[in-house]
Amino acid sequence: LVGGVLHVVRTGARWDQAFHQHLKRDSKGEALEFDIDPTLIEKFQTEASAALGPHLDRGHAIALVATPEIRPYLRMITERMFPNVPVLSTLELARGVNIKTLGSVS
């Protein structure tokens, strides 16, 4: 949070859909595991670097925002490359916080 503004980069619709498609679910529809091809992970990491890198290089404090269901899996994917970038779900964004979207991973 910088000056009362949370700067974020969002996952784009294409990646939201790709991650959702790779969630394995139980009979109740609950997500059990995340089974995604490693080449897709590498592609996401490349695109995330392109979206986040310029802001991080300038010293900006930013967060990556995703849907609640994929947030924990997205954190696993990004934590090695971006250990200081929090991954938040859309439900974790508090009301009243000013959000500035700097871009998306798409």
Q: What is the CATH number of the domain that holds 88?
A: 3.40.50.12790
Q: What whole-number distance in Å separates Cα of residue 46 and Cα of residue 52?
A: 10
Q: What whole-number distance in Å separates Cα of residue 9 and Cα of residue 62?
A: 7
As beta bridge partners, residue 88 has 65
pLDDT of residue 25: 78
Query: Containing domain of residue 67, as a range?
Result: 5-105
**Phi, psi angles (nearest 5°) of residue 103:** 165, -170
Asked whether the predicted pLDDT for residue 3 surpasses 90, the reply is no
Per-residue confidence at 92, pLDDT binned at 50, 70, 90? very high
Q: Give per-residue pLDDT as tens, 35-59.
A: 889 999 999 999 999 999 999 999 8
Tokens of 96: 């009243």
- The total of structural domains in the chain comes to 1
pLDDT of residue 11: 95
Alpha carbon distances (Å) from 49 to 9, 96, 97: 11, 29, 26
Q: What whole-number distance in Å separates Cα of residue 88 and Cα of residue 75?
A: 9
Asked whether the predicted pLDDT for residue 64 surpasses 90, the reply is yes
Average pLDDT, the chain: 90
pLDDT of residue 1: 65
